[in-house]
Structure 1
Amino acid sequence: MKCPECKGKVVMDYERSEKVCQECGLVVRNVRFRSNGSDEELNENSENYRHRKNISHRTYDGGLSTVMSKRVNGNVDGKTAGHYRRMSKMDRRMKLQEYRNRLMKDAIIEIENQCSKLNVPTSSTEDAIDFFEKCYRRNLTQGRAEEVVYSSVIYMICRRDGIPITIDEMAEKYGLCSKQISRFYRTLKDRFEVEIPLQNISVYIEKYSSDLSVPNPMMIQSKKLVREVELKMSGKKPNGIAGSIIYYISEKNDFDLSVKEISDVCNVSWNTIYYGYKDIENVVE
């Protein structure tokens, strides 16, 4: 390698980890040695970086603690292999001795299971787990049922990310009263000052249209109708408005869809769908 200034010979200064020109003393670039003998460039033009493992909220320790593997190399004898297995078992038990680790492990399993059943994206699931940990640190979980905390956290993250899930759905999944979830949800929103956007009824229409096998052209008509009736029907539950719009469009297009089918999918009473349909008729006509 030649010096870019004087074309002299460049040599490696191992004490300073620098490449230096023998003639003019110019430091060509800084390098750092890896354990395998290859060097890594650290100048601003380098694209080669080494970094730590990303923190994962889906494990109670963030995925950063050392894990003793259960698997033993086949080159050791039976006595040593048994010793390694006992050490691995003891390591797992010691990590879960702390109450916080046990609580977080149970919470992660429960939140992941519920988010999986509700088809919540992975990123939102991780945010829900992270948010539960923040609640624990602020002592907001004390004196409350675990199911209420789990469901409220999941519901708040879904509302924040625009995922079409209602409080009634969450209450039904956990066998709780919707007022319990609603009360703690408001507490979390106020305490952490989370900005929750208005619910997008079009997202609910997409979800329910898919569940009811509504043709795509009718779903597009339903989403267009949202803009006309949204202001007139403000204050009502989004799943009820979405169900009423789908029923109105299905009647208009002679699509065979009963009120009971829609009410079962939207998780509202048939009266909600029927009277919502009448309100839409008055607005449109």
Structure 2
Amino acid sequence: MASNRGDGGGIRICCSAHPDAALIEDYRAGDQICSECGLVVGDRVIDVGSEWRTFSNEKANADPSRVGGSENALLNGTDLSTMIGPGTGSASFDEHGVAKYQNRRTMSSSDRALVNAFKEISNMADRINLPRTIVDRANNLFKQVHDGKNLKGRSNDAIASACLYISCRQEGVPRTFKEICAVSKISKKEIGRCFKLILKALETSVDIITTADFMSRFCSNLGLPTMVQRAASHIARKAVELDIVPGRSPISVAAAAIYMASQASDEKSKKTQKEIGDIAGVADVTIRQSYKLMYPRAAELFPEDFRFTTPIEQLPQL
């Protein structure tokens, strides 16, 4: 082995026979090897590989990691701690059979509340197939509300449900209150109250929902073809532009537009008000009220290239 002084004044390890040859580092053995002749010119190199070993006689469910769980930046106590595993030998127990070494409950009540809320948000998101980005935003919103103590007296589950609703709106994939309520243990009324309080407390906002936000998902869940979905989207948009449905919610307008488009299509695509209401989360009477406003001007609402199976004059008048 040879050592030369580098330009910066440090010591550079190199092969005595081939000082300019590149060295190969064998991290498993901890050696530095000359690429020309194979001479080991350095040893005791720090191993940067995995920090555990696996043996064939270990239990399959044993966790080989020795560095604890990953840190969660949203929790207050993110320092690493030592977790003592279950004792297996006689030296692990005293004369009364009690374990000598035990883990202490180091998690604060505040962090415990956060962990439970994050778990509830994740469970709700899984039930309606929401992506991780929405869960992360909802977790951040809950953390801000929790630290600011803005909603004292409200249950953490209600706050978590409202945070998930806001997160969906802000990420551009809004869900209805009834959809959030369906996967939550909280009533629609309570989620709505928390929603308003959170927006006020955090001084944040959400985009106004439109019929387009729900149309694709509703039509897909109803199994409607692309032609009907395109017609329903056009009908809803024109109804809003012509101010035919003032004061009606975008969800009820979307449901009524789907009903009108499906009734003008072939028999396989026709959907009843109840079928649409179950998917959209609105009552039959709500769909009828919006449909009655749209029906007199139906000729203005349909796209020009729509192929009618049922003429406009034969559509249900309700």
TM-score (norm 2): 0.63
Which consecutive unaligned segments of at least 5 residues does structure 2 have? 13-44, 49-69, 300-318
Q: Offset of 1:135 from its aligned partner?
A: 0.7
The residue type paired with residue 11 of structure 1 is D
Q: Is the 8 A contact 2:114 2:143 kept in 1?
A: yes
Q: Distance in 1 between matches of 2:284 and 2:83?
A: 56
Determine which structure has more spread, i.e. the larger CA radius of gyration.
2
The residue type paired with residue 182 of structure 1 is G
Count matched residues: 235
What do you get for the CA RMSD once the two structures are aligned? 3.3
Q: Distance in 1 between matches of 2:71 and 2:90?
A: 36
Partner of 2:309: none
Greater shift, 186-195 or 221-230, is seen at 221-230
Partner of 1:225: 235
Q: Distance in 1 between matches of 2:212 and 2:298?
A: 18
Q: Distance in 1 between matches of 2:221 and 2:8?
A: 68
Q: Is the 8 A contact 2:228 2:261 kept in 1?
A: yes
Partner of 2:273: 259
Correspondence for 1:137 among 119, 127, 147: 147
Q: Is the 8 A contact 2:248 2:290 kept in 1?
A: no
More helix per residue = 1
Correspondence for 1:14 among 10, 17, 26: 10
Q: Provide closer, same or farther for how the CA distance between residues 224 and 81 of structure 1 changes in structure 2, counting only shifts above 3 A.
A: farther
Q: Is the 8 A contact 2:253 2:290 kept in 1?
A: yes
Q: Which runs of 4+ in 1 moved over 3 A?
A: 35-38, 54-57, 59-62, 67-72, 77-83, 171-177
Secondary structure at the aligned position of 1:222 is classed as helix
Q: Is the 8 A contact 2:124 2:184 kept in 1?
A: no
Q: Offset of 1:271 from its aligned partner?
A: 1.3
Q: Is the 8 A contact 2:252 2:287 kept in 1?
A: yes
Q: Distance in 1 between matches of 2:8 and 2:233?
A: 68
Q: Provide closer, same or farther for how the CA distance between residues 163 and 115 of structure 1 changes in structure 2, counting only shifts above 3 A.
A: same
Partner of 2:35: none
What are the Cα deviations for residues 188-236 of structure 1, in whole angstroms up to 9, with x where unaligned? Answer: 1122121211113212111111111111222122223332112423432
Identity %: 20
Q: Provide closer, same or farther for how the CA distance between residues 55 and 200 of structure 1 changes in structure 2, counting only shifts above 3 A.
A: farther
Which consecutive unaligned segments of at least 5 residues does structure 1 have? 1-8, 18-34, 39-53
Partner of 2:22: none
Greater shift, 171-180 or 148-157, is seen at 171-180
TM-score (norm 1): 0.70
